[in-house]
Amino acid sequence: MLGREPHLSDSAAVLAAVETAQCGGLLCATTVTTIHYIAERQIGSQASLTRIAELMSIFGVAAVNQAVLGSAIGRGMADFEDAVLHEAALQAGAHCIVTRNVDDFSLAEIPVYKPAQFIAALANEDAEGTPLNRP
């Protein structure tokens, strides 16, 4: 969204995979607010909201509710925000998490990939038929 290097190429590939329905994609509800917070500082509030609307036309949103927060508290992850993301992903039925911050998800119950790893796994899935392409 902001074109930040050196992450642009891998992140754009993940976005393209979701946009072309190669796989389904979800954003955690709290991630959407974090994106706006970061983006509005660089591109302004209205441009940030426009880009968030574009993302929401491509991605679904994993809810953050009392059940998610309660599970996150009990997850035992060092970073509460990551625990919330993990629990939201689980409760939304996600098959994996894609993040540049893989190390904080050592207690995850589903696979966690860096963007480049996810694209490689998705390419491998085409050959093997694993569940990565299910929305």
Question: What is residue 124's predicted lDDT score, i.e. its pLDDT?
Answer: 87
| Mean pLDDT value of segment 30-52 | 95
Return mean pLDDT, the chain: 90
Cα distances (angstroms) measured from residue 62 to each of 39, 65, 127, 131: 20, 10, 28, 19
Over range 19-42, report the average pLDDT.
95
Model pLDDT for residues 49-107, shown as the tens digit of each residue: 999 999 999 999 999 999 999 999 999 999 999 999 999 999 999 999 999 999 999 99
* Ramachandran sector of residue 31 (left: φ over 0; alpha: ψ -120 to 50; beta: rest): alpha
Is residue 131 in a domain? no
Q: Is the pLDDT of residue 134 over 50?
A: no
Checking if the pLDDT of 4 tops 50, the result is: yes
d(CA 36, CA 51) in angstroms, rounded, equals: 9
Identify the pLDDT of residue 2.
60
Considering the entire predicted model, what is its pTM? 0.85
CATH number at 27 reads 3.40.50.1010
Q: Evaluate whether residue 38 is within a structural domain.
A: yes
What pLDDT sits at residue 133? 42
- Which range marks the domain in which residue 61 is found? 8-126
- pLDDT at position 125 is 73
pLDDT of amino acid 15? 94
Query: Within a domain: residue 111?
Result: yes
In a domain, 30, yes or no: yes
* pLDDT value of position 129: 54
Backbone angles phi, psi at 73, to 5 degrees: -60, -40
Q: Is position 100 within any domain?
A: yes
**Is the residue at 133 inside a domain?**
no
How many folded domains does the chain comprise? 1
In a domain, 135, yes or no: no
Q: How far apart are CA 120 and CA 21, in angstroms?
A: 16
Q: Does 88 reside within a domain?
A: yes
Q: What is the pLDDT of residue 135?
A: 38
